[in-house]
Amino acid sequence: MNYYGIKSIYIFEITRFFRTIFQSFVSPVISTSLYFVVFGAAIGSRIKEVDGVSYGTFIVPGLIMLTVITQSISNGSFGIYFPKFVGTIYELLSAPVNFFEIVLGYVGAAATKSLFIGVVILATSTLFVEFKVVHPGMMILFLILSCVSFALLGFIIGICAKNFEQLQLVPLLIVTPLVFLGGSFYSISMLPPFWQTVSLFNPVVYLISGFRWCFFGVADFSIGTSLLAIFGFMTLCLAFIAWIFKSGWRIQT
């Protein structure tokens, strides 16, 4: 294991995070605060409780997951795309590091940045609502798994993208709608039966449900189902990345 190579990639990516602190950190915090104002105050005044939890408190896990997922994908995709764009990826591929070490460096940094933002959003939430995390250990585990899983997805997007437009295409047209329709601001039990069935095919539903269980002990699905979903998603991403490096697809051309 080339620890120096992993460390170099990791530190470089973390340093870039602090060079773009407003875009990477301040912007998500402001956006989340606006969500609390709009959904927590405006809509929360009309919806008193969901599953025995006040609406303003109920949306906290969904807002954290919304930010974590989007930031993980953004950090993971840009981190590997930029070396492709400037041509330094060939220097990386010729260095004495294997694909697993490259993934550890880039994905580890992307997940760390997203985890940091998620913790800050959690702290910011306490300024708007009062809540208590029922299962703090599971909450931290679930947050880490989510950061890593979607950083892996972002890594795949960064490799597949041919330009900056494509880099934003999947998060904008696919991931963001899935997150908004994944129960971030509501419980799927509130939906009509037909749409409840449709929601079962949205993988993000299981992630948000599991994360909400960590906070309040209530969820639309069992925590085992949510963990199985996130581990399965992580395995698929790792397998696809391994195939990309083995075949050289979108890397050597």
Predicted confidence pLDDT, tens digits, the chain (253 residues): 788 888 988 998 888 777 777 766 777 778 878 887 777 666 766 777 888 888 888 989 999 998 899 889 989 999 999 888 887 878 887 878 888 899 999 999 999 999 999 998 898 888 888 888 999 999 999 999 999 999 999 999 999 888 888 888 888 888 888 888 888 888 888 888 888 888 888 889 999 999 999 999 988 888 999 999 999 999 999 999 999 888 878 776 5
Asked whether the beta carbons of 99 and 238 are under 8 A apart, the reply is no
Q: So what's the pLDDT on residue 40?
A: 67
In a domain, 12, yes or no: yes
In a domain, 157, yes or no: yes
In a domain, 233, yes or no: yes
Residue 139's contacts (CB-CB under 8 Å, 6 or more residues apart) are 133, 211, 214, 215
In a domain, 14, yes or no: yes
pTM of the model: 0.90
The total number of structural domains in the chain stands at 1
What domain range is 142 assigned to?
A: 3-46+59-247
Residue 91's contacts (CB-CB under 8 Å, 6 or more residues apart) are none
> At residue 93, what is the residue type?
L
In a domain, 51, yes or no: no
> At residue 9, what is the residue type?
I
Distance CA 118, CA 132 (A): 16
Distance CA 132, CA 39 (A): 20
Residue 199's contacts (CB-CB under 8 Å, 6 or more residues apart) are 181, 182, 183, 188, 191, 205
53 membership: H or E segment, kind and range: strand 53-54
Q: So what's the pLDDT on residue 54?
A: 86
In a domain, 98, yes or no: yes
In a domain, 134, yes or no: yes
In a domain, 253, yes or no: no
